[in-house]
Amino acid sequence: MPNLVLLRHGESQWNLENRFTGWTDVPLSPKGEQEAHEAGEKLKAYKFDKAYTSVLKRAIDTLQIVLKISGQEHLPIEYDKALNERHYGALQGLNKAETAVKYGDAQVKLWRRSYDVPPPSEVTELNPMGISESLKDTAARTLPYFESRILPDIKDGRNILVAAHGNSLRSIVMQLDSLTREQVIELNIPTGVPLLYVYDKAGKILEHKYL
């Protein structure tokens, strides 16, 4: 039975600083590197046929650490921006607590967790193109990629590891777990903790759990 493991990158430097990160390419924090090591230890018991990741450093570095610790450094890897974190628009780089003081906790939770409400898209130094994505927008690029590239591997019986980001993975989990828009607001995927999905030969999910 094929396995799919979804892994959010370890804590990044801006996770540590409580800042909105989005597409900003920040490194892992020391704690994030340790979380990746721990994930690698947990995944020693699993042998993968292929890995997928985003083009952002924090996900790539997490994957590389996991593969080294689990003894699978020569695994084929596919990199694609479809798995990137959602773009946080004008919020990128801002401290989350300070933003909540300015706009209110409810508004910031809506921007962070809702399905179809994007953050402000004003042009800033860290958002020169005026981009902003809701979870719905993120899913519009992540899910077609998952369905066209990753799911066929699983249906062919391959074991797959995906190292990505909180919101790109939330969009995938929302579909895999058949979550409603209301349920996904409360969904938080922890950093550095592998989430295992076990499939049957027909491509149906038998079970899922955090390792």
pLDDT of residue 56 exceeding 90, the answer is: yes
Domain 3-210: which topology? Rossmann fold (3.40.50)
Question: Looking up tokens 């994930």, which residue turns up?
Answer: 39
pTM of the model: 0.95
Selected catalytic residue, list 11, 38, 73, 85:
85
Whether 208 is a known active-site residue: answer no
Selected catalytic residue, list 9, 11, 87, 165:
9
pLDDT at site 202: 85
pLDDT of residue 153 exceeding 90, the answer is: yes
- Residues 24, 14 contacting (CB under 8 angstroms): yes
pLDDT of residue 114 exceeding 90, the answer is: no
Whether 87 is a known active-site residue: answer no
Instruction: Read off the tokens for 116.
Output: 């179809």
